[in-house]
Structure 1
């Protein structure tokens, strides 16, 4: 009997292959980073061929660690969302660098569409806003500015896909995308069965270049080619934030998780009714099983863990991310310093793609600890902005389940509880994105009869952080933050 579910966690800066058992225990991880390309300010690109090469190396290493293909029941994939790859249908080779979800080059096109009054209709259909974050305007930019993409479109050889589509194609030659990823493109209506013809026309994206939309679990494709994994069924697919929500077992309406990775993403389960926001939050597909969709309301913050990376690699204020907790605890407060980390614009609920980062409140008393602490404080303050918007939309959080690399920092977890004035729960195993993909694949391959059964068997214990800040201190922090926001 196969012992493991193999998960490919295709993130923004690295790819990992991970082995999970039936109880959700993690047995092996292989990780390989890939190059981040920044050709112009606000532009972010990846080499899709490099992503595939690194993924293939991770996959082979994990299968070897499992003791061979016979010990792996199924493959699940979670991926960085919205990033767009264009490739040739025949050769399977990329036609240009992938445009990453963080990229802001299509801001002018989004502004043009807004000026024509298109946003309300787009939001009503997709649950999304007209922002460079999403996939459709990236596809349009490639068609307009990359000759090889335009020529492939004319010949009928163009294939567009997000990262999970790219990896499945390279593994199996199947061209599919799951409903959670499809819902992030601006090209699928939340309650529609396939790609929306009117949306494809609005953005000028040929529907024939797009993947077939499928469920998030089941036998979705079968890997072939490489003897190391030939015949391995691909049984789970989900965008990383939806996968993390599943991995946190937020399977009932109202349950909420926040992932603090490269960015920060909060999702609240909304059940089977498509959500609508009056406060610039996003409606998205959480998962689709047997054709039935479950939805989430989402708030997206573009800069979280990438801020710590910037403090380390660009400013040289820290040598490692672990140092941030020590520095934050070394001072009583930030000394009036406020960091607004709009290094890639501001996401929800502000949606200001043109915004740039601000450090305010500096004085001669401001040093490395104060600036680092203010950077960490921005996580809770950005999350509080989201909590306010969720509550205004009628979805008030009762608790917040957190995960991602930054969630390992006890100081951040407590600061979230203090600023949100509600309990924060953290799982013992923080790899909930990969765990969610494992749960989907475990259900999809028949290990468990339902996603709820998979979650009950595979989700672990949680620790809890309760609020301990007085109202006056909380209000002062909020007031300083709101004043700093006016400067971006």
Structure 2
């Protein structure tokens, strides 16, 4: 009996790495996962160990292969955390810096001191704004402390490609490059002006390739044969949008992770909140808003309330009909889109002697949903008519959160039955590149949540939230 063919999809995220063996029909043939450590050596800093991340990939891959029937690997697909950066020696190939995570804000003050002209240049070339979340400020911080002569730097896709190919390749994918603030998403290349503005020499950066252009072949990787092609690479949020089948304006996806990404395709580049979702035969752009703290807010609140985990927090939240007037704004590292105020600070307001732990838990669940709505409101204000939200990520298991989300949005939320949507998205692009017809998103079953809140109540809740957000922001 012939062995099934499979693509190995590696989804490297902030807190764990997943490896999924996926057949040409989208069937999951094997899975593996390994945790990844995250440290905060100073307030506002977020670091990881590059070798630990690579080790997590190896462990997840070994687990996926060991737990599946024998398959013929025809390719590898990568879905990776995006703005995080690391440096390694071009001579030895060994990491020489920690991974500075996307949520790290050590460069915030430096960003705030850049001339306004740099911000205008960044928007016109990248569609983004200057913020410590993106890669360029982190690279500037690293390069001020290192000799660039023996240095390669890159985002996580570049590091994993380097490792998978036995150190032979220094490459990155266009969508990941678009999150650095250094890549011109219209001209589709590193921008000399942006490199100069952030003090990043071109010599340290990888070559940029289209999302399905091929990224070398495996060499010397424990548990994998040599010569397996790396067929497709996507940023994790981009891979989720691809996997959700959001290919036209009006369909918006939200990924509920440590932070959250809300993204919808647009017909052409918009110099405000725009990103390059993927580059195949043509560039596909998307409007995106990034939330700094969503799953992280749930985890923090669970710990604050002495609860063992987020699941218990959500169960507690479901025991009350509402938050009892309590509002939690989780601006622990400032606010991301659409407010972009890194000086904002978290607050819990509206408490009284009648406030219970369940009210605070419910306020946190509400906060996650409100932050998503802040971004969909912004997208709607640009003229993009949103009609459905497709949700993915760990927190979507909560029916309370998903119903709250639909109520506050005022339109339906569809939750896929597939947990590994980013891995599936990257694998689908790989199988498409290999000549197999796909379209898996339309074949999946979903849980659907329709709004039950009347329009006037929705407006009141959204207005109350807006007032709470305004109260935690720094005076302009």
- Do the structures match in fold with TM over 0.5? yes
| Partner Cα distance (2:65, 2:310) in 1 | 31
User: Which residue matches 2:261?
Assistant: 265
TM-score by length of 2: 0.95
SS of match in other structure, 1:303: coil
Q: 1:227 to 1:53 in 2, by over 3 A?
A: closer
Q: Aligned pair 1:333/2:322, yes or no?
A: yes
Match of 2:77 in 1: 76
- Between the aligned partners of 1:465 and 1:458, the Cα distance in structure 2 is 17
TM-score computed with the length of structure 1 as normaliser: 0.92
Report the counterpart of residue 403 of structure 1 in structure 2: 392
Per-residue deviation, residues 64-95 of structure 1 (Å, max 9, x unmatched): 33455x52221111111100011111211111
In structure 2, do the counterparts of structure 1 residues 90 and 433 end up closer, same or farther at CA, with 3 Å as the change threshold? same
Name the SS of the counterpart of 1:37 in structure 2.
Answer: coil
Query: Which of 184, 188, 192 is residue 189 of structure 1 equivalent to?
Result: 184
Partner secondary structure for residue 182 of structure 2: coil
Paired with 1:227 and 1:378, the residues of 2 have a C-alpha distance of: 43
With over 3 angstroms needed to count, the CA separation of the structure-2 counterparts of 1:299 and 1:459, relative to structure 1, is: farther
C-alpha change, 1:36 and 1:459, in structure 2 (3 Å) is: farther
1:22 deviates by 2.2
- Quote the offset at 1:211 in angstroms: 0.8
Shift, 1:176, TM fit: 0.8
CA distance in 1 between counterparts of 2:116 and 2:467 reads 32
Alignment-derived partner of residue 389 in structure 1? 378
Superposed CA offset, 1:43-78 (max 9, x none) = 10111111111211222232333455x522211111
Equivalence map 1:75-224=2 (5 Å): 75-113=76-114, 115-144=115-144, 146=145, 150-151=146-147, 153=148, 155=149, 157-172=150-165, 173=167, 174-224=169-219
Q: 1: distance between equivalents of 2:457 and 2:248?
A: 34
Q: Deviations over 1:76-127 (max 9, x none)?
A: 11111100011111211111111100000111111111x4432112101110
1:420, CA displacement in angstroms? 0.7
1:317-337 Cα shifts (integer Å, max 9, x gaps)? 322222233222211110100
Partner of 1:308: 298
Higher deviation after alignment, 354-363 or 225-234 = 225-234
Report what 1:455 is aligned to.
439
Contact 2:215 2:230 in 1 (8 A): yes
- Aligned 8 A contact 1:377 1:415 in 2: yes
Native 8 Å contact 2:152 2:204 kept in 1: yes
Q: Do the aligned partners of residues 178 and 373 (structure 1) sit closer, same or farther apart at CA in structure 2, a change above 3 Å counting? A: same
- Cα drift, residue 42 of structure 1: 0.6
Task: Output the CA distance in 2 between the equivalents of 1:226 and 1:373.
Answer: 46
Of the three residues 429, 435, 444, the one matched with 1:440 is 429
Please show how residues 233-252 of structure 1 align to structure 2 within 5 Å: 233-252=229-248
Alpha carbons of 1:363 and 1:462: their partners in 2 closer, same or farther (altered >3 Å)? Answer: same
Match of 1:474 in 2: 458
* Residue 363 (structure 2) pairs with residue 374 (structure 1): yes
Aligned match of 1:52: 54
Counterpart Cα distance in 2 of 1:317 and 1:304: 19
Q: Is the 8 A contact 1:66 1:72 kept in 2?
A: no
Show CA shifts across 1:8-42 (max 9, x none). Answer: 11000111111222222323221111221101111
SS at match of 2:304: coil
Go from structure 1 to structure 2 and tell me whether the alpha carbon gap of 1:76 and 1:142 turns closer, same or farther (over 3 Å shift): same
Residue 287 of structure 2 aligns with which residue? 297
Q: Please state how far the C-alpha of 1:445 moved relative to its aligned partner.
A: 2.7
| 1:231 corresponds to 2:222 | no
How far has the Cα of 1:5 moved from its partner? 1.6
Residue 466 of structure 1, CA deviation: 0.9
Answer whether contact 1:176 1:213 (CA < 8 A) is retained.
Answer: yes
Task: Compute the displacement of 1:218 (Å).
Answer: 4.1
Q: Is the 8 A contact 1:180 1:238 kept in 2?
A: yes
Aligned length: 467
Question: 1:459–1:353: structure 2 CA closer, same or farther, 3 Å change rule?
Answer: farther
Give the Å deviation of 1:439. 0.6
Cα 1:29–1:311 shift into 2, 3 Å: farther
* Partners of 1:108 and 1:13 in 2: CA distance: 26
List runs of 5+ in structure 1 lacking aligned partners: none
Contact persistence 2:30–2:65 (CA under 8 A): no
Cα separation, 1, equivalents of 2:457 and 2:116: 44
Residue 473 (structure 2) pairs with residue 484 (structure 1): no
3-state SS in 2 of match to 1:3:
strand
Measure how far apart 1:6 and its partner are: 1.1
